[in-house]
Copies of this chain bind each other. A is one copy, B any other.
Amino acid sequence: MTGDIETGSLSEKAPARRGRRRRGGEKATPELFPQKPFKQPRHVFKPLEAVSADELEAIHDASMRVLEEIGIDFLHEEAKELLKAAGAVVTPGEDRVRMDRAMVEELVAKAPGEFTIRARNRAHDLQIGGDAIAFSCVASAPNAVDRDDGRRPGNQEDYRNFLKLSQFFNIIHCIMGYPVEPVDIHASIRHLDCIADMVRLTDKVFHIYSLGRERNLDGLEIARIANGLSPEEFVKTPCVATVINTSSPLRLDTPMLQGLIEMAKAGQVSVVTPFTLAGAMAPVTIAGALTLQNAEALAGIAFAQIVRPGVPVVYGGFTSNVDMKSGAPAFGTPEYMKAAIVGGQLARRYGLPYRSSGVCAANTVDYQAALETTLSEWGAITGGGHIIKHAAGWLEGGLSAGFEKFITDIDLLQKIAEYLTPLDVSEEALALEAIKDVGPAGHFFGTEHTQARYKDAFYAPIVSDWRNYETWAEAGSPIAYDKANMLYKKALEAYEPPALDPAIDDELTAFVERRKAEGGAPTDF
């Protein structure tokens, strides 16, 4: 079916082979994937507010009471020592840490409201916060799926292919986690191979997992090498991020605290994101889940500021609701949208950059997938999100990363970016002369005003099939999924690895080989 979907010239090409670069396929790229240069979209609309100022204060107050009266378990001795020294109440022999609101607010206020995170290709540096938006690809899926080979546990080839797609599409601004977990690489060295791949196959901002101190230290070193920085420069230059997930409710586990400590010591970015699923790990009410989210996110952020005052952090919101029939997480629900918007209000209250997500619970690339994904983006974008994670390729509540879904989501993200481009309301755009020239009952297509502009006047979709019904039916009635199946393979063909300084490449190789020879990292996490 691939050949029928696009132009005649393409239908004459041989079927694409996944994962293999083929020079011959590149010519088709501009037409198949009309994309704009790498650029962060900007919030041009005022963020929506789903709760009043008083209601926002009520959520704030409740979360402060959680931190003051109930407390959070910090499963890490050094962390508890640091918190105690900073004024928190820590009962000896227990993990519970209570902080009063003055302490929390003072610490949180030390975090920057916006900052730059450096990419090894400086043209891909990102502004985090302010009016800037950064989309990142799906992360942490245990499975990969496409139509040809079905659903399978993540492997290195799929992992690399998702990195290539993330590099290929300019609308993906950063890689905030392994798109899929390559379980065919031994866990002790997986992080070394995976992070090295991020550096070599992409030149965008990337992420390292907080799964034990050694992995953080290895990831930090690879980020330093990739950016060609001295240790002294590195600590002053945010260029790598981790996501810290609290163990809701009310707990920060040891590896996450190790991650917060090492990232903060190194001056690098922690995105603190409680996964507060209303009705499961969080109260069944969205206001209650947001109270818990806020308490946990601020606890992590305050702690990072103890370790290194002023270190860049991001307020992560990931409140959704369960399917009350099955207990499974749901995404892109109305409750999710409201939580995403209030999450943004909370982040702005504390002057912090805000992370949200583009997610769904669908098992395949159908109406449901688009509906839920688009509604979650509606919440994230109108809520003022700065980092929109999982924005391309996420399926099944994160249990799989889909190649076709990656492509359909690229179309959504490019549309959102175009939607956020200000309208031209210049005198020429108002077109009074053209309206006069055409007059009643005329047509604008042939006018000079149109001819001068039509090529770039409108966003050209990569997935939408705008052929008329008859032509489309003759072509076999392809659905978006079919076209996306063809397109992801074409994108992989057209992928070109970004340039990498041979000296950096060598240093990276030497580091990875040395750490592998040392046995990698412990696997008892």
| A contact residues vs B (CB 8 Å cutoff) | 44-46, 48-51, 55, 58-59, 62, 65-66, 69-70, 72-73, 95-96, 151, 247, 249-251, 278-289, 291-292, 321-328, 330, 333-335, 337-338, 342, 361-372, 374-375, 378, 382, 396, 399-400, 408, 411-412, 415-416, 418-419, 421-432, 434-436, 438-445, 447, 449-450, 453-455, 457-461, 463-469, 472-473, 477, 479-481, 484
Contact = CB atoms under 8 A, between A and B. Distances in A.
Nearest to A323: B466
B424 A465 contact: no
| Residue of A335, A400, A477 contacting most chain B CB atoms (<10 Å) | A335
The 5 closest A-B pairs by CB, nearest first: A288-B431, A370-B370, A283-B431, A334-B418, A367-B480
Contacts of A247: 441
B284 A457 contact: yes
A289 to B, nearest CB: 8
A287 B425 contact: yes
A292 B49 CA distance: 33
Contacts of A289: 431
A426 B287 CA distance: 8
Contacts of A473: 363
Contact of A430 (B58, B361, B447, B465): B58
Given A330-B458, A454-B324, A250 B479 contact: no
A215 to B, nearest CB: 24
A371 B376 CA distance: 12
B366 A435 contact: no
B249 A440 contact: yes
Nearest to A287: B429
A285 B324 contact: no
Contact of A453 (B284, B375, B412, B469): B284
A249 B481 contact: no
Nearest to A371: B370
A53 B410 CA distance: 33
| Residue of A284, A426, A472 contacting most chain B CB atoms (<10 Å) | A284
Nearest to A400: B469
Given A280-B443, A285-B449, 12 more contacts: A59-B425, A250-B439, A278-B458, A279-B457, A281-B444, A321-B457, A326-B468, A328-B466, A361-B464, A366-B370, A372-B464, A399-B469
B73 A441 contact: yes
A316 to B, nearest CB: 19
A438 B249 contact: yes
Contacts of A466: 323, 325-326, 328, 330, 361
